[in-house]
Amino acid sequence: MTRPDLQRDAQGRLKHFLTIDGLGGEILTEILDRAEGFAGVARQAVKKVPLCRGKIIANLFFENSTRTRTTFELAAKRLSADVLNLNISTSSTAKGETLLDTLRNLEAMHVDMFVVRHGDSGAAHFFAEHAAPHVSVVNAGDGRHSHPTQGMLDMFTIRRHKGDFGALTVAIVGDILHSRVARSQILALTALGAGEVRVIGPRTLIPTRVEELGVRVFHSLREGVRDADVVIMLRLQRERMDGALLPSEREYFQLYGLTERLLETAKPDAIVLHPGPINRGVEMDSQVADGPRSVILEQVSNGIAVRMAVMSLCLGTQSQRAQGDEDG
């Protein structure tokens, strides 16, 4: 659990973005509103705004994720920041240097923000707790704990299609137990006042007492997606197939794979999300992934705007609109 004061500065503004837990709907809505202002930057002739000019943002990815790292890098560059990508596999951390040593050495280079992805839960929190006062930390995914920017880009995608969260029934399908994405989605949906949040999966992949997060549990995909406005399919880690948690991929798809026929039980205008990359024929078939109700590629584009919003807020910069008003 993140200390309640760790993510905010003395004035209550966002300083670090480590988890959605405890932030509340107001600040999440502020992120979504600011992202809306950045969404059009990609259509400009010059795809940049000067909000973070002179800032140095370091991407520290201790585990691979091409999509997440690339969108964070693009977001930082569109804010006009200087970007440092640290190749962890060849850095001194692989030779025994501690996380704290890495932090101190990078701080000596006058880095303003660390974007941290790590296989261990709590790594981003460790950086935030030990960072210099002027440094901000954004969690790009830590262990099974949290992936807050993925959760927020999903919320941004949903809001652009559906508007008010209060009227929505959202179904999250798959490996809820091991998914940091699912946890962030549930916390965000709850904070934003979603009408009903459902989690769907085999009993072996549903956390005990998950109902305490305010969700309804289903073990039947057909029942879980019935009349849903939004269906979020989670990526299934193939290593789960090697243990006793799941049957074969073929059996999993038969029970929990999303097909066009199953999607017909959802609302006629239901949308389908997936954090990617998709295991086609395991989590969903290609007809759904490439179909008219899929917004999966939109999620990728929206991730850049949301990460721009988070980074600019944490670094204390003005919104794009406010900056433009002053320049005029």
Catalytic residue among 78, 147, 178, 183: 147
Residues of the chain with CATH 3.40.50.1370: 25-146+301-327, 148-296
| Residues whose CB falls within 8 Å of the CB of residue 14, separated by 6 or more in sequence, listed in order | 7, 8, 23, 27, 310, 313, 314
Q: Is 293 one of the annotated binding-site residues?
A: no
147 as an active site residue: the answer is: yes
Using 50, 70 and 90 to split pLDDT, how confident is the model at 5? confident
Q: Is 324 one of the annotated binding-site residues?
A: no
Higher pLDDT, 239 or 179: 179
Sequence letter at residue 283: E
Phi, psi angle pair for 324, to nearest 5°: -65, -40
In the predicted model, what is the mean pLDDT of the chain?
89
Higher pLDDT, 80 or 250: 80
Quick one: which of 48, 42, 35 has its CA closest to 76?
A: 48
Catalytic residue among 117, 178, 183, 274: 117
Q: Is 235 one of the annotated binding-site residues?
A: yes
Report percent pLDDT > 90 for the chain. Answer: 70
Q: What is the pLDDT of residues 184-210, one digit of tens each?
A: 999 999 999 999 999 999 998 999 999
According to the model, what pLDDT value does residue 326 have?
A: 36
Q: Is 118 one of the annotated binding-site residues?
A: no
Q: Is 130 one of the annotated binding-site residues?
A: no
How would you class 120 by CB atoms within 10 Å of its CB: exposed for 0-12, middle for 13-18, buried for 19 or more?
Answer: middle
Query: What average pLDDT does range 208-230 have in this prediction?
Result: 97
Residue 99 has a CB neighbour count (10 Å cut-off) of 17
Using 50, 70 and 90 to split pLDDT, how confident is the model at 65? confident
Which CATH number is correct for 148-296, 3.40.50.300, 3.90.1200.10, 1.10.10.2840, 3.40.50.1370? 3.40.50.1370
Catalytic residue among 19, 34, 55, 68: 68
Q: Is 4 one of the annotated binding-site residues?
A: no
According to the model, what pLDDT value does residue 94 have?
A: 54
According to the model, what pLDDT value does residue 86 have?
A: 81
Q: Are 232 and 172 in contact (CB under 8 A)?
A: yes
Q: Are 219 and 171 in contact (CB under 8 A)?
A: no
Q: Are 57 and 283 in contact (CB under 8 A)?
A: no
Higher pLDDT, 102 or 280: 280
117 as an active site residue: the answer is: yes
Higher pLDDT, 90 or 51: 51
| Residues whose CB falls within 8 Å of the CB of residue 239, separated by 6 or more in sequence, listed in order | none
Using 50, 70 and 90 to split pLDDT, how confident is the model at 245? low
Helical segments of 39-90, H only: 66-78
Using 50, 70 and 90 to split pLDDT, how confident is the model at 1? very low
According to the model, what pLDDT value does residue 46 have?
A: 86
DSSP-based three-state secondary structure for 56: strand
Q: What is the pLDDT of residues 287-327, one digit of tens each?
A: 999 999 999 999 999 999 999 999 999 998 754 443 443 34
Phi, psi angle pair for 66, to nearest 5°: -60, -45
Catalytic residue among 43, 66, 90, 95: 95
Using 50, 70 and 90 to split pLDDT, how confident is the model at 10? confident
Place of tokens 């066009």: 260
Q: Is 195 one of the annotated binding-site residues?
A: no
Catalytic residue among 8, 29, 48, 67: 67
Domain 25-146+301-327 belongs in CATH node 3.10.20.30: no
DSSP-based three-state secondary structure for 20: coil
According to the model, what pLDDT value does residue 12 have?
A: 87
